[in-house]
Chain A
Amino acid sequence: MSEAINVLEIQNVTKRFGNLVAVRDISLQVAKGEMCAIIGPNGAGKTTFFNLISGFFPPTSGTIKFDGHDITKLATHQRVIRGMARTFQITEIFPELTVFENVRTAAEVAAGYRLRPWVNRAEAAQIHQRVEATLKLVSLEAKADRLVGELSHGDQRASEIAMALALQPHLLLLDEPTAGMGDQETYQITQLIHRLHRDSNYTIVLIEHDMRVVFHLADRICVLDQGRMLAQGTPKEIAANETVQAAYLGNAA
């Protein structure tokens, strides 16, 4: 019986900061092509959990496996090289470069060119193609030559997602992708994430506060509260779960 290897396997992970336990004994498995949403009230430990996955700091205890390999001790950039891409709540982009240049940087690093003094014409063309394709995927091809710092909030987020996609990731980590957006932009980003999930079959883990987004998109929802995993399940199950309702959904999200 060969079991498909889970993209992400987190086992009993705990993170302590001195006396403060930010994340307590959380386990999570994410299968290929799954979209898993992490929700919870402020201070529940969602961002800390994310930081543990992406390698910002190591866990106090527990293991993290990515594509079957133990990555618990690996540094951030090593996890990225293995196929983990992340976006941030406050968009992290290269503001004074164009959209194209932003994504090209990502593509070149992913292609292994980061130390190269030069690329030949064929390689350059391939990179160019890849960037264009990625921009098309996020509907930014028309704005390729604009400085990212000058774009709208939604377009900046889309650029950031494009950079993540250019890394050809096995796992996309999206930290509050709709943070700070109005209805129109939220809709656009939600549609984008939906396309990435349904059409391109990306494995996605995201933190979200916007319940419409979460319940619309996610295969599975994990509810965090005070560092613990309160509940896990399909949107239906979570909506029906009384503990969750009490802790979180009861309050206006």
Chain B
Amino acid sequence: MSSAQTRNLIVLAGIWAVLLLAPYWMAPLGGYTALATRVLVLGLAAMSLNFLLGFTGVLSFGHAAWFGLGAYGAGLTLKFLALSTPLALVAGILLGGICGGLLGLLIVRRRGVYFAMVTIAFGQVFYYIAFQWSSLTGGDDGLRGFSRQPLDFGLFKIDILSEPNNFYYFVLFCFALAVGIMGFVLRSPFGRTMIAIRENERRSRFLGIPVERHIWIAFTMSCFFMGFAGALYALVNNFADPRGLHYSQSGDFVMMAVMGGMRSFWGPLLGAAVFVVLQDYLSSITVNWMSFVGLLFVLVVLFFPRGLLGFLQRSRA
């Protein structure tokens, strides 16, 4: 095994060690397990977005729509259909992914600024629907009246509602599943075409890659992952919020990816951690925390566009 591969393995092991032991090292640092759970879920969302943004080079600024749809899908399932956590997750995944895939068909022929604008606008459509259809979604107050159900394995049950650690490990398991698939795809021949498209779309076309089709596939995949993250998020708070669909939420996800490093696989997770912690901290000390978040956006864009990990990871194997 080459030294680069060994190094990658060690880094990977380190990351998983940190994640697996989070409930234990967070407490002494003043954190708490629920915070870690939140970071995991938002990190998954940011990584799902980055699957499209950082690895295919396509800017969707309305991706929170699929996140929100996932949340509502899960919440509505638990509230009206069945008291089953796995079913809720599947519902969220499907809702986010299928709606995303359909929209993708409409807009994938355009790129750049036009694409970004249309994704923003369409994201807002879903926000608006969630807001207005209050009989179903609870409107501005959000969807309530459901909670995550214990995992029933037949012989035994795991309570993930009242035990924060249990829930954390459940989310970590889901996270690992999603992230594993993502990594697998990125390393596959298809994944390499995604990266090719990011690097040079014209050259990709002139290699025989049907660029629009591949972008659509990558887009749809990222929507499925996004739906998954959203469904998990609904479980985190036992609550689904129309604000989760708003373009400002999309902006947050993009910022997490950029802050952590768009070109790196784990960057968005790091970005999510920093963003969540910062936001929590700021909102507790000042009422004008929003302007500081805005300032953060401006500073990162002007001075740290490659993000934290991009900063470190300049030379490659």
Contacts and interface: CB of A to CB of B under 8 A. Distances in A.
**A and B pair up:** yes
Interface of A: 54, 76-77, 80-81, 85-86, 88, 92-98, 101, 104-106, 108-110, 113-119, 145, 147, 163, 167
Contact of A94 (B190, B203, B217): B203
Contacts of A167: 207-208
Q: Which of B184, B200, B203 is the most central at the interface, judged by chain A CB atoms within 10 Å of its CB?
A: B203
Interface string B165-207: 0000000000000000000110011101101100110110111
Contacts of A80: 205-208
12 contacts: A77-B211, A88-B202, A92-B206, A96-B199, A109-B209, A110-B207, A114-B190, A114-B193, A116-B189, A116-B190, A118-B189, A163-B203
Contacts of A77: 205-211
A182 to B, nearest CB: 24
A105 B207 contact: yes
B157 interface: no
A113 B208 CA distance: 11
B190 A115 contact: yes
Nearest to B196: A105
Contacts of B206: 54, 76-77, 80, 85-86, 92
Contacts of B189: 108, 113-119
SS class of chain B's interface: helix, strand, loop or mixed? helix
Contact of A109 (B184, B193, B316): B193
B195 A97 contact: yes
A130 to B, nearest CB: 14
A141 to B, nearest CB: 18
Contacts of A98: 316
Contact of B190 (A85, A104, A117): A117
A5 B63 CA distance: 51
B100 to A, nearest CB: 19
A93 B203 CA distance: 6
Given A76-B206, A77-B207, 12 more contacts: A77-B206, A80-B206, A80-B208, A86-B206, A93-B203, A94-B200, A108-B192, A109-B209, A114-B189, A114-B209, A117-B185, A119-B188
Contacts of B202: 88, 92
Interface residues on B, range: 20 to 34
Contacts of A92: 200, 202-203, 206
A101 B316 CA distance: 13
A139 to B, nearest CB: 21
B90 to A, nearest CB: 21
B188 A117 contact: yes
Interface of B: 184-185, 188-190, 192-193, 195-196, 199-200, 202-203, 205-211, 214, 217, 263, 316-317
A186 B210 CA distance: 33
Contact of B188 (A76, A81, A116): A116
Nearest to A81: B208
B209 A147 contact: no
A96 to B, nearest CB: 6
A94 B208 contact: no
Contacts of A94: 195-196, 199-200, 203
A147 B314 CA distance: 12
A54 B317 CA distance: 35
Contact of B193 (A85, A97, A105, A118): A105
Nearest to A123: B189
Nearest to A110: B208
B185 A147 contact: no
Contacts of B190: 114-117
A95 B184 CA distance: 23
Contacts of B199: 94-97
B98 to A, nearest CB: 20
A113 B192 CA distance: 10
B205 A118 contact: no
Contacts of A163: 203, 207
A92 B205 CA distance: 11
Contacts of A116: 188-190
Contacts of B208: 77, 80-81, 109-110, 114, 167
Contacts of B210: 77
A7 to B, nearest CB: 17
Contacts of A110: 207-208
Nearest to B202: A92
